C-alpha cells in the first residue's frame, strides 16, 4: 500500500504523503520542451508515449507519492464528439453542442476515441518509478463538464445569464455525462489507476439552492460507482462554501480543500481524510515563507489523516527548486 492509500483508509504513515495538482506540466522545463514541439494539447494528451513521459517527469525530480496521469477533464466532452481545443492565452474552447449526435454515441465509440489515455495509465502504472506509489486517474464532475459544454469556454467568475434557460437540454446532458464519466472512471481503473480524483472546478459558481441538483446528487452517483469498484475516491469541490455538508452528503473517501477556506475550521468539522489547502502562490515567494505556510498546514492536521497538496494546481511560473524544497520539507516534517 502506498502512503496516500494508507492515509485514505486511516492508517498511520511514517511521513506525510505528498502529491501536487498539476505536478506534471508548465513549470517544468522538460515539459515545455515537449510542448514546444506539440502545440495541439488534445493530441498531446492522446499521445500515450509522450503523456506517459510527462506524467513521470516530476517523479524523476521529486520524492512524490503519486503519479497523476497527464490528461484533461475535457477528454470526456472530446470523447462525446464535441470539438475541444486549447488556445494560447485563452484556455479551452469548445464547439457547438449537437445533442442528437451525442445521444447516438456508443460506449465503444467513446472508448476508442480516448483509448490512448488508458494506454498511458497502463504504461505509467507498470513503470519502476511508480513502484510503491499510487497512479491517480481523474475526471471532471458532471457540473463542471456541463459548464464547459454549454458555456464553451472557462466561465471565469460567473455563468452566462441564460445558462439555465433550457432545462431539458441540461437534464439530458447530465444523464449522458453520468453514463460516460462512469465509463471513463472504469477504464482508468481497469488500466491501473489506484485512486480517482473528481475535480469540480466550478462548484463555487452555484448558489446554495442549486447545489443538490447540480453538485451533490451527480457527484454522489460517481462516488458510489467508484467505491463499488473498490477504489478510493477524492473529491475537490473548488470554491464551495460548505465542505462539511458536501462531505456528509457525497461521502468521498477524502476531501481536497481549496486555499480560501479556514483549515482549522475544516479540521473541526470534517472527520474524513483531508487533502490540500495551501495557496499555490506561496511557491512564488521565498523559502522562509514557503516553510512557514507548509508547516502551518502540517501542524494543523498533524492529528488528522492528511495528504499534503495545494489548494489548486501548481502555477506555470513556479521555480522547480521551490517545489523540491517543499517536497523535502514535507517529507522531513
- Mean pLDDT for each consecutive 10-residue tract of the chain (333 residues)? 91 91 96 96 97 98 98 98 90 92 94 98 97 96 97 85 92 97 98 98 95 98 98 97 97 98 97 98 98 98 97 97 98 95
What pLDDT score does 12 carry?
Answer: 84
Cα–Cα distance list, 209 to 157, 206, 212 (Å)? 18, 8, 7
CATH number 3.20.20.210 is the correct assignment for the domain at 3-332: yes
Global confidence as pTM: 0.97
Burial string for 260-278 (b: 16+ CB within 10 Å, else e) reads ebebeebbeebebbbbbbb
Sheet holding 254-257, edge to edge: 66-68, 134-140, 195-199, 233-236, 254-257, 274-276, 306-307
Q: Give the model's pLDDT for residue 13.
A: 87
- Sort strands 91-94 and 233-236 into parallel, antiparallel or unpaired: unpaired
Beta bridge partners of 278: 310
Q: What is the pLDDT of residue 161?
A: 84
Cα 30 to Cα 46, 120, 171, 224, 255: the distances in Å are 18, 18, 43, 38, 31
pLDDT for position 157: 72
Question: Would you state the pLDDT for residue 10?
Answer: 84
Instruction: Return d(Cα 197, Cα 69) in angstroms, integer.
Output: 11
Describe the crossing of helices 320-332 and 287-300 by its angle, rounded to 10 degrees.
Answer: 40
The residue ranges of every structural domain in the chain are 3-332
Task: Please give the pLDDT value at position 283.
Answer: 98
Residue 226: the pLDDT is 98
> How do strand 84-87 and strand 254-257 relate by DSSP bridges?
unpaired
Q: How far apart are the first and last CA of the chain?
A: 21
For 228, other C-beta atoms within 10 Å of its C-beta total 10
Exposure of 198 in the CB half-sphere (CA atoms within 13 A)? 36
Strand ranges (E), the chain: 66-68, 84-87, 91-94, 134-140, 195-199, 233-236, 254-257, 274-276, 306-307
Amino acid at each position: 500500500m502506498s502512503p496516500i492509500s494508507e492515509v485514505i483508509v486511516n492508517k498511520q504513515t511514517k511521513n506525510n504523503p505528498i502529491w501536487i495538482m498539476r505536478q506534471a506540466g508548465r513549470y517544468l522545463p522538460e515539459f515545455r520542451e515537449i510542448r514546444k514541439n506539440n502545440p495541439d494539447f488534445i493530441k498531446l494528451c492522446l499521445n500515450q508515449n509522450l503523456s506517459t513521459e510527462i506524467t513521470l517527469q516530476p517523479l524523476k525530480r521529486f520524492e512524490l507519492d503519486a503519479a497523476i496521469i497527464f490528461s484533461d477533464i475535457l477528454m470526456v466532452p472530446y470523447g462525446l464528439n464535441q470539438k475541444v481545443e486549447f488556445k494560447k492565452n485563452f484556455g479551452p474552447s469548445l464547439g457547438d453542442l449537437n445533442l442528437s449526435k451525442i445521444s447516438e454515441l456508443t460506449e465503444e465509440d467513446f472508448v476508442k476515441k480516448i483509448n490512448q489515455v488508458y494506454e498511458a495509465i497502463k504504461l505509467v502504472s507498470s513503470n519502476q518509478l511508480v513502484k510503491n506509489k499510487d497512479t491517480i486517474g481523474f475526471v471532471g464532475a458532471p457540473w463542471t463538464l456541463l459548464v464547459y459544454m454549454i458555456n464553451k469556454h472557462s466561465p471565469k467568475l460567473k455563468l452566462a445569464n441564460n445558462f439555465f434557460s433550457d432545462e431539458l437540454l441540461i437534464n439530458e446532458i447530465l444523464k449522458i455525462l453520468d453514463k460516460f464519466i462512469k465509463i471513463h472512471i472504469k477504464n482508468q481503473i481497469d488500466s491501473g489507476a489506484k485512486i480517482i480524483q473528481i475535480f469540480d472546478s466550478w462548484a463555487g459558481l452555484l448558489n446554495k439552492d442549486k447545489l443538490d441538483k447540480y453538485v451533490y446528487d451527480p457527484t454522489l452517483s460517481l462516488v458510489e460507482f467508484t467505491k463499488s469498484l473498490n477504489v478510493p475516491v477524492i473529491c475537490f469541490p473548488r470554491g464551495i462554501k460548505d465542505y462539511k455538508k458536501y462531505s456528509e452528503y457525497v461521502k468521498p473517501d477524502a476531501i481536497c480543500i481549496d486555499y480560501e477556506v479556514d483549515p482549522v475550521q475544516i479540521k473541526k468539522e470534517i472527520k474524513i481524510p483531508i487533502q490540500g489547502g495551501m495557496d499555490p502562490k506561496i511557491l512564488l515567494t521565498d523559502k522562509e515563507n514557503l516553510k512557514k505556510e507548509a508547516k502551518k498546514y502540517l501542524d494543523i492536521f498533524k492529528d488528522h489523516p492528511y495528504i499534503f497538496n495545494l489548494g489548486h494546481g501548481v502555477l506555470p511560473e513556479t521555480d522547480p527548486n521551490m517545489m523540491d524544497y517543499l517536497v523535502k520539507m514535507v517529507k522531513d516534517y
